[in-house]
């Protein structure tokens, strides 16, 4: 039945739809505003992926009678099974290692290639943007704490912890770089 293998993008969408039936547009908005936006939220990304899931009978579409254009998608029982199978897969070493951070790669390469000012500006930008982002996460945590399920809350806290420690690193790095002045 399911000849074509599901990608991470497919599972990301399937998981969202399992939490809450949604339209393609709704999924796009989530990708646009949350950390899921590793993938583009553009129509060319989301709609073909949803249509693939539909063809595989992993999601079913129910047209909204109110707004005819709107298409609501629900995860089918087969889709739920696939999701469970994916979630139950063992943790691979690969998954641990493959967390790329393009900013850190850039920083690592800077050494003798850019001047002191560029390095300082880079770290200060990082600190400022991460602070803003972290505050957003914290605020969300404070207001939505009650409404979140355990796993959602823990994943959010993972993000908070991660940005906190990255901020700490950036401040430390700034000091180290400044010392060379």
Partner DNA sequence: CCCCCCATGTAACATGTTACATGATTGA
Partner DNA sequence: TCAATCATGTAACATGTTACATGGGGGG
The binding site for DNA (CB under 7 A) comprises 4-5, 7-10, 23-26, 28-29, 39-40, 42-45, 47-51, 67-71
35 vs 67, beta carbon nearer a copy of itself: 35
Q: What angle do CA 159, 133, 96 make, to 5 degrees?
A: 30
Distance of alpha carbon 55 from alpha carbon 42, whole angstroms: 21
DSSP state, 89? S
Cβ distance 43 to 28 under 8 Å? Answer: yes
DSSP state, 105? H
Distance of alpha carbon 107 from alpha carbon 100, whole angstroms: 13
Comparing CA positions, the residue from 126, 137, 122, 135 lying closest to residue 166 is 126
Residue 48 contact, options a copy of itself, DNA, none, Cβ 5-8 Å cut-off depending on partner type: DNA
Residue 7 contact, options a copy of itself, DNA, none, Cβ 5-8 Å cut-off depending on partner type: DNA
- Choice from 65, 142, 150, 181 touching a copy of itself (CB under 8 A): 150
Q: Which residues bind a copy of itself (CB under 8 A)?
A: 8, 11-12, 15, 18-19, 35-38, 80, 83-84, 86-88, 90-91, 93, 95-114, 118, 122, 125-126, 129-130, 133, 149-152, 154-155, 157-159, 161-162, 164-166, 168-169, 172-173, 176-177, 180
């Amino acid at each position: 039945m399911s000849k074509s293998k599901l990608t991470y993008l497919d599972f990301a969408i399937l998981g969202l739809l399992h939490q809450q039936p949604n339209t393609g547009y709704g999924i796009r908005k989530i990708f646009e505003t949350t950390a899921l936006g590793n993938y583009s939220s553009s129509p060319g990304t989301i709609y073909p992926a949803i249509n693939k899931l539909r063809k595989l009978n992993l999601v079913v579409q129910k047209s909204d009678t109110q707004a005819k254009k709107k298409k609501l998608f629900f995860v089918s029982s087969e889709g739920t099974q696939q999701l469970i199978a994916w979630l139950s897969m063992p943790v691979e070493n690969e998954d641990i290692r493959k967390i790329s951070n393009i900013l850190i790669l850039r920083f690592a390469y800077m050494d003798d290639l850019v001047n002191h000012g560029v390095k300082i500006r880079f770290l200060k930008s990082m600190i400022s943007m991460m602070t803003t982002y972290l505050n957003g996460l914290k605020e969300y945590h404070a207001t939505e704490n009650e409404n979140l399920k355990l796993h959602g809350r823990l994943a959010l806290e993972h993000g908070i912890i991660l940005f906190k420690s990255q901020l700490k690193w950036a401040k430390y790095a700034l000091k180290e770089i400044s010392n060379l002045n």
